[in-house]
Amino acid sequence: MHHEAPVHLRQLPVPGEDEYAALALVNTRFTVSHGQVDLLDDTEAAHLWLVRHALLPDRVSLNGRQSGRLRALREALRALFAARAAGTRPPADALDTLNATLAAAPATPRLAWTADGPRRADVPDTGNPAAAALSQLAEDATDLLTGADADLLTECAAQGCARWFLRSHGARRWCTTKCGNRVRAARAYAARKAGSP
């Protein structure tokens, strides 16, 4: 089955989403000119998002409870990202949600031996694919929050935009050039309006 998002729901990817699926998950809730958009608003949409991000095979179904857990993880990650960016302690329930998701389907460490030599390989729990997908997202978020990229994690400064991204340089404040252009246009309009009699 082929699902294509309406044009008004397509968003430009932001820096970091290619590296961190957890960042892409947080950005599934955003605002456009006509209001709030939630790309995980129902079970089918949540399933499609997981499939498109290669976290769940298309043949594996997702139930309402599992899609609710995906949305709860997203909201927990938003709170954890905000706490990390502000340098404050996160809400206990956000941390509990992340840790419960990590524990729901822990990967089993294995030693893999390739032509390049030995390396650690964590094998996901295949008994519950949906829980494994969520656990993988939680692990990805944990890596982001504790790794070298954590200091680059930033919420877009454009009014009305709630997306998170990884800054490519210290002065970057907007997730995309579209948000930056919108802010600059609003400033120019306000300046013109303030200058008119």
DSSP 177-189: HHHHHHHHHHHHH
Positions of the chain with pLDDT lower than 50, given as ranges: 1-2, 7-9
Spell out the domains of the chain, with CATH numbers in brackets: 7-151 (1.10.3300)
Q: Identify the pLDDT of residue 179.
A: 81
Burial of 136 (0-12, 13-18, 19+ CB in 10 A): buried
Number of helices and strands (H, E) in the chain?
6, 6
User: Helix 92-104 to helix 129-146 angle, to the nearest 10 degrees?
Assistant: 130
pLDDT tens-digit readout, 29-77: 987 777 788 999 999 999 999 999 999 999 999 999 999 999 999 999 9
